[in-house]
Amino acid sequence: MIKIIVVDDSAFMRKVLSDLFAAEMDFTVVDVARNGQEAIDKVKLLKPDVVTLDVEMPVLDGISALEVIMREVPTPVVMVSSLTKDGADATIRALENGAVDFVAKSAGPISNIDNIRTEIVAKCRAAARANVNKLQKFQAVRPPASEYKLSPSFSVAVKEQIVAIGTSTGGPRALQELVTRLPGNLPCGVVIVQHMPPGFTKSLANRLDSLCALSVKEAEHNDVVKPGSVLIAPGDYHMTVERDGTRTVVKLNQGPPIGSHRPSVNPLMESVAKIYGSLATGVILTGMGSDGARGMQEIKQSGGYTIAEDQSTTVVFGMPKSAIELGIIDKVVPLPAIASEIVRHLQTKHGGV
Distance CA 68, CA 97 (A): 10
- CA-CA distance, 103 to 119, in Å (whole number)? 7
Report the alpha-carbon angle 256-260-264, nearest 5. 70
What's the CA gap between 270 and 291, in Å, rounded? Answer: 12
Catalytic residue among 18, 81, 168, 322: 168
Distance CA 353, CA 338 (A): 18
Q: Cα separation of 14 and 34, whole Å?
A: 8
Distance CA 309, CA 329 (A): 10
Catalytic site residue from 290, 291, 322, 350: 291
C-alpha–C-alpha distance, residues 90 and 115, integer Å: 22
Q: How far is CA 32 from CA 19, 52, 60, 69, in A?
A: 12, 10, 15, 16
| 203 carries an active-site annotation | no
- The DSSP result for 17-86, as a single string, is HHHHHHTSTTEEEEEEESSHHHHHHHHHHH--SEEEEESS-SSS-HHHHHHHHHHHS---EEEEEESSHH
Q: How far is CA 250 from the centre of its chain?
A: 20
Catalytic residue chosen out of the listed positions 18, 195, 271, 322: 195
Told to judge if 221 belongs to the known catalytic residues of this protein, a careful annotator would answer no
Long-range contacts of 260-263 (CB under 8 A, 24+ apart): 261/168, 261/195, 261/289, 261/291, 262/236, 262/237, 262/238, 263/193, 263/194, 263/195, 263/233, 263/234, 263/235, 263/236, 263/237, 263/238, 263/239
Where are the extended beta strands (E) located within the chain?
2-7, 27-33, 50-54, 77-82, 101-105, 162-167, 189-194, 215-218, 229-232, 238-244, 247-253, 280-284, 305-309, 331-333
Q: Residue 291 catalytic?
A: yes
Query: What are the residues facing 79 on neighbouring strands?
Result: 53, 102
Q: Annotated active-site positions, please?
A: 168, 195, 291
